[in-house]
Structure formats: C-alpha cells, structure tokens
Amino acid sequence: MNGLEARLATAARGRARHRMIRTAEPRPAGIDLASNDYLGLIRDPRLVAAAVTALQRYGTGAGASRVVTGTVPVHRELEDELAALTGQPAALVFASGYAANLGLLGSIGGPGTMIALDAHAHASLIDGARLSGAVVRFWPHNDLAALAELLGAADRRVVVVVESVYSVLGDAADLPRLAELCADRDATLVVDEAHGLGVTGAGHGSVWAAGLAGVGHVLVTASLSKALGAQGGVVLGSDRLREHLINTARTFVFDTGLAPAAAAAAAEACRIVRSEPERVAALRAVAEAIAAGWGRPVAAGAVQSLPAGSAGAAESVARQLTTEGVLVGCFRPPSVPDGISRIRLTARADLDPAMALGVARRVPALLAGAE
C-alpha cells in the first residue's frame, strides 16, 4: 500500500459516518423539505429564460478571471441588482459564496488582525479566517458577553464574523448589539447573509432590516445559490471595499468569473424578490406551519430544526420519510456545531403550509419510535 492509499484507508476506518452524494430526484414529484431553494426559484421560468438568454449571448463560461476578460455586462447588472436589493452602496460578485468569504477575509485579515468567529460559523468563514494568516479565535455561539471579553483582551485590529441566520439551528445573530459592540471597540463586523438574503427583512436581508446597510464597519457576504436559486457569491459594502477586493481578493483575481448564465438568473431573482414580497411572506407561512407542527417558536429564517436523541434516530427518520418521497435534512456529528443530531425541515415559498404542517407533526412521533 503506498502512502496515499494508507492515508485514505486510515481516514475511512476512523470516520464517524460515511457521507453520501444525495441525488435529489424525484424532484419535483417528491416533497423537498431539505434543499436551500427557499423561494422556489430554481425552476422559475423567468430565471431559466434569463439564463438561456445569457447562454446564447455570452456562452457557457466566463472564460477567464473577472480581471482578465471574464467580466461581461451581466456581472455589473447583477452587482447593481444586489446592491439595490440589500440597500448597500456596492457589490462584488464571486464564483461562489465560499469564494466570497475566502476572498473577503483574506483581504481584510492577515497577521496584524484577530478574526473572532461565532462558534457556529460556516466552514467557508473558518477557512477564510485561517487562510488569511490572522490570529483566529472562536467565541461561544451568540454569547455577546464572551465576545466583549475577547474584544477587551485583543492586542490587534479585530474582525468579528457572524451569520445573520445560522444554517443548522436556524437561529439569528443579534445584529444591532453586535454592530454597537464592534463600533465601541473599533472592530469590523462581517455578516454572512447566506440564509438571510431573500428570506429575512422582507427579502432584503437581516442587515437591511437592522438598519445597518451601508454602515461603514458592517460588511456583508452572501451566497446566490440559496434563496436566489442561482449560483455564485457576493461581498457588499462601500465602493472603496469593492475596489480593494478587486485588487487583493485572491478568489476574485485568480478564479474564473461566475458563469454568465448563473449571473443572469441571480439578477432576475433579485428583481423578483423586490417586486414580489408575497413570495417571501409565503415562505414565512410555511416556516410558521412547521414550527406549529412541533409546538415550538418559529426560527428566524427558512430552516426549522428539531433535536434528535441520537444520530441513529435522526438517520432512521430521514430514511423513513425518504421512502415516502419526502426529503428532509438529517444533521449528525461531525456536521453539527454542538454535537446534537437534528432533523431539519426547510421551508419553501412554493410549498403548501398544510402539507408542511402534516410532515412536521409526524417527525416527533417518528423520532420517539426510533429512539
């Protein structure tokens, strides 16, 4: 066995569980309560038509980095739409939300900086912080007293990193208090709106809803692959920040630009979110139905999450529902930040609240039977 084979074999033996690549068929025949297509836009004919037009006009790929020949007019159109939707002065689009987080933290981090992340921050934020070369610290989830203590002891410039809505528990960050705390300590606040954009604040996002859009020390990132039903990522903030990223963000400079078809679809999605607030309200109604089915308060975003007694119980319930054509999220260690396994139901604007209520009601009983 060579070195690589030995490494793969050891890793496989030590793995708590094997991940599978899950194919989402039989969509749309089945009931999908697991994907991130929160507004039900992935198959919207308007997004598809915008993508087809861009395909015909620009071809299948950007062909180069945005700073070489990979920028086409639809990228600027998308950036204008995203800035308008979120109330921000400027936007810069990346090939994915992951790349946007790596790019932003890499270009504002570095050895003279401490990056302080909420313990539930997404992998892309953690990787971005580590790759930046900054001193990386974590503070307990949503514990602002612990964050204040960390900031008080900091001996260098600080960047605080949170998500507006967390993807596993579905809970929210207290953005007004975070922004105030960061302003007091002269720290920068980075808010990842991957699960807020298109969902909270009537679709404008949580930063907008908190009145923090365009506030100098509050920077925003988001994925375009969730509520917007497309692909790509964005950093939102001042024109100066945009200029800085164009010159320094490695995942912008050294990565092929976002495919024009994805950019066109995302731009169309931004227009739909702004013009159809009833779509965001429909998503909320489904989220409320799921929470009602569990007798729990509704979480801030689309994700509603119910703890399971064990990983085995969560797996067995997800498997049972899959056999009935209902896809639900099943989160187990090591993919959960606090070690607690969960069944996660994701609300979508194009689902019937009564149906979502019916599925939600069954989950606690199924879990009890599986434990």
Ligand X SMILES: Cc1ncc(COP(=O)(O)O)c(C=O)c1O
By CB under 6 A, name the binding residues for ligand X. 96-98, 101, 122, 124, 163, 167, 192, 194, 223, 225, 233
**Which of 75, 120, 195, 204 is flagged as catalytic?**
195
**Is there a catalytic annotation at residue 192?**
yes
Q: Which of 226, 255, 305, 316 is catalytic?
A: 226
Given the complex with ligand X, which of 218 and 289 has the nearer CB atom?
A: 218
Distance CA(329)–CA(319), nearest Å, equals 10
Min dist. Cβ of residue 95 to ligand X (A): 8
Which residue minimizes CB distance to ligand X?
A: 97
Q: What is the 3-state secondary structure (H, E, C) of 337-354?
A: CCCCCEEEEECCCCCCHH
Q: Which is nearer to ligand X, 226 or 279 (CB)?
A: 226
Of 86, 95, 146, whose CA–CA distance to 116 is shortest?
146
Cα–Cα distance between 73 and 167 in angstroms, integer?
Answer: 32
Closest separation in Å from C-beta 228 to ligand X: 10
Answer yes or no: 217 catalytic. Answer: no
Q: Per the structure block, which two tokens stand in for 181?
A: 């705390």
From 96, 107, 164, 167, active-site residue: 167
To the nearest whole angstrom, how small is the minimum distance from the Cβ of residue 59 to ligand X?
Answer: 22
Query: Annotated catalytic residue: which of 37, 118, 192, 193?
Result: 192
Least separation, in Å, of the C-beta of 192 and ligand X?
Answer: 5
Identify the H or E element spanning 307: strand 303-307
Pairing of strands 342-346, 303-307: antiparallel
CA dist 226 and 5 (Å) reads 36
Q: Among this protein's residues, is 167 annotated catalytic? A: yes
Given the complex with ligand X, which of 124 and 132 has the nearer CB atom?
124
Cβ closer to ligand X: 167 or 341?
Answer: 167
244 a catalytic residue: no
Q: Give the nearer residue to ligand X in terms of CB position, either 71 or 167.
A: 167
- Residue 138's contacts (CB-CB under 8 Å, 6 or more residues apart) are 116, 117, 118, 119, 121
Q: Which of 101, 107, 118, 122 is catalytic?
A: 122
Angle, alpha carbons 247-253-255 (nearest 5°)? 165
Instruction: Reply yes or no on whether 75 is catalytic.
Output: no
The residue (of 97 and 257) whose beta carbon lies closer to ligand X is 97
**How is residue 335 written in tokens?**
């993919």
DSSP 203: G
Asked if residue 38 lies in contact with residue 351, where contact means CB atoms within 8 angstroms, the answer is no
Tell me the residue length of the chain: 371
In 144-204, which ranges are E strands?
Answer: 157-163, 188-192
Please state the φ and ψ torsions of residue 302, each to the nearest 5 degrees.
-80, -30
Catalytic residue among 37, 81, 163, 255: 163
Question: Cβ 235 to ligand X, closest distance in Å?
Answer: 12
Distances from the Cα of 207 to the Cα of 107, 169, 338, angstroms:
22, 19, 26
Q: How far is the CB of 46 from ligand X (least distance, A)?
A: 21
Smallest gap from Cβ 261 to ligand X, in A, equals: 16
3-state secondary structure at position 301: coil
- In the complex, minimum distance from the CB of residue 78 to ligand X, in angstroms, rounded to a whole number: 14
Q: Which is nearer to ligand X, 98 or 294 (CB)?
A: 98
**122 tagged catalytic:** yes
Judged by DSSP in three states, 50 sits in helix
Question: Cβ neighbours of residue 225 under 8 Å, at least 6 residues apart?
Answer: 36, 96, 97, 231, 232, 233
Query: Partners of 334 in the beta sheet?
Result: none
Closest to ligand X by CB, 105 vs 194, is 194
Asked about 36 being catalytic, the answer comes back as yes
Which residue of the set 36, 96, 206, 225 is catalytic?
36
d(CA 211, CA 149): 26
Residues with a catalytic annotation lie at 36, 122, 163, 167, 192, 195, 226
